[in-house]
């Protein structure tokens, strides 16, 4: 009989590519992870992982088991949801990870709604960039992620996750008031090709949006200044340090002295925001109200 907790460890190793990283995500020791993998291999009668200088990879047998693992763990999530619904005590704690603007735009309003509509549900919020929150869901560190589509992100049909679209927003051009395009009604990205740029660090989903938009306009942005805090990005632009693309909602309530904000000419780069939970967990009586409240907050 295969133990479900060992399947969860197998998936973590497949996701993180090393035993050490998987162990850290699962709050286990590397030796405990290795022992559980060995036990799983004994249960299945197959070698499931191969260790190399660059980490761990699944064998063909391991890949077969992983494909079933996603379905098994999703079904267990559904079973937990149905049992919780049977108990029907819609009271408990749900942990939500979100990037900062998402917290302000949808998470905080959802917390306010739930205080009225589902007072038995306690929300714990963790600030995490969009590329970090999805692994946190898969590793069971949080229940819900509010994340951003980015290059390399799990797709909407990923068998491990259920995606719930929330909202999409354009990026606006932020340029110093002295910039040659400051008076333009719309800023063509190609017109910024020779400027120094300010933007998020690589790995931040917004970094991908900026770089891909510039590449589509025919150039590679010269990123001279990096910050994941858009207040810092705007402050640097106001100091004439460069130009930037910033999500529109991140500019709400910000001091824009020294800069002008203009829409991008043509098709504006866009960040698409969604909520994600482990496959099978969306109908859990604690999680369903949270997803509904996030959706209502996104619609305004």
Q: Please choose, from the candidates 226, 246, 223, 114, the residue with its C-alpha nearest in 3D space to the C-alpha of residue 172.
A: 246
pLDDT of residue 85: 61
DSSP conformation letters of 144-212: EEEEE--TTPPPTT-TTEEEEEEEEEEEEEEEETTSTTTT-SSB-GGGGTTSEEEEPPTTSHHHHHHHH
Mean pLDDT of 21-30: 88
pLDDT band at 225 (very low <50, low <70, confident <90, very high): very high
Mean pLDDT of 219-229: 95
Lowest mean pLDDT among 76-85, 90-99, 210-219: 76-85
% the chain with pLDDT above 70: 98
CA angle 197, 200, 203 (to 5 degrees): 130
Q: What SS3 state is found at 215?
A: helix
Q: Which fold has domain 90-167+272-298?
A: D-Maltodextrin-Binding Protein; domain 2 (3.40.190)
Query: CA neighbours within 13 Å on the CB side: how many for 253?
Result: 5
Q: Please choose, from the candidates 283, 295, 254, the residue with its C-alpha nearest in 3D space to the C-alpha of residue 106.
A: 295
Residue boundaries of the structural domains of the chain:
4-83, 90-167+272-298, 168-271
Q: Tens digits of per-residue pLDDT, 240-298?
A: 999 999 999 999 999 999 999 999 998 889 999 999 999 999 988 899 999 999 999 99
Q: Tens digits of per-residue pLDDT, 108-141?
A: 999 999 999 988 888 999 999 877 899 999 999 9
CA angle 132, 136, 141 (to 5 degrees): 145
Strand partners, 176: 259
What integer best gives the mean pLDDT of the chain? 90
4-83 and 90-167+272-298 share one fold: no
Residue 94 parent element (H or E): strand 92-98
Q: Could you confirm whether domain 4-83 is CATH 1.10.10.10?
A: yes
Q: Could you confirm whether domain 168-271 is CATH 1.10.1660.10?
A: no
For residue 15 the two structure tokens come to 């996701």
Q: Tens digits of per-residue pLDDT, 30-72?
A: 888 888 888 888 888 888 888 877 788 889 988 888 888 888 8
DSSP letter for 73, please.
H
pLDDT of residue 88: 58
């Amino acid at each position: 009989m295969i133990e479900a907790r060992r399947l969860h460890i197998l998936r973590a190793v497949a996701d993180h590519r090393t035993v050490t990283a998987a162990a850290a995500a699962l709050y286990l020791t590397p030796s405990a992870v290795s022992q559980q993998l060995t036990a799983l291999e004994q249960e299945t009668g197959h070698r499931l992982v191969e260790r190399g200088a660059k980490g761990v990879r699944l064998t063909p047998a391991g890949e077969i088991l992983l494909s079933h693992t996603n379905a098994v763990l999703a079904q267990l999530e559904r079973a937990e949801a149905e049992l919780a619904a049977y108990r029907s005590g819609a009271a408990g704690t749900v942990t939500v990870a979100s990037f900062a603007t998402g917290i302000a735009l949808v998470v905080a309003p959802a917390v306010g709604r739930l205080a009225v509509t589902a007072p038995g549900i306690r929300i714990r919020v963790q600030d995490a960039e969009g590329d970090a929150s999805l692994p946190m869901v898969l590793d069971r560190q949080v229940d819900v992620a509010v994340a951003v589509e980015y290059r390399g992100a799990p797709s909407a049909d990923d068998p491990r996750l259920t995606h719930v679209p929330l909202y999409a927003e354009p990026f606006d051009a932020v340029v110093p008031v002295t910039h040659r395009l400051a008076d333009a009604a719309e800023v063509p990205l190609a017109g910024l090709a020779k400027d120094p740029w300010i933007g998020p660090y690589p790995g931040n989903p917004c970094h991908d949006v900026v770089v891909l938009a510039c590449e589509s306009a025919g150039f590679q942005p010269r990123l001279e200044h990096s910050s994941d805090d858009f207040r810092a990005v705007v402050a640097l632009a106001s100091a004439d340090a460069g130009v930037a693309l910033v999500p529109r909602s991140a500019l709400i309530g910000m001091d824009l002295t020294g800069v002008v904000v203009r829409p991008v000419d043509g098709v504006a780069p866009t960040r698409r925001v969604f909520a994600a939970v482990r496959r099978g967990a969306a109908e859990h009586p604690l999680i369903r109200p949270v997803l509904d409240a996030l959706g209502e907050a996104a619609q305004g």
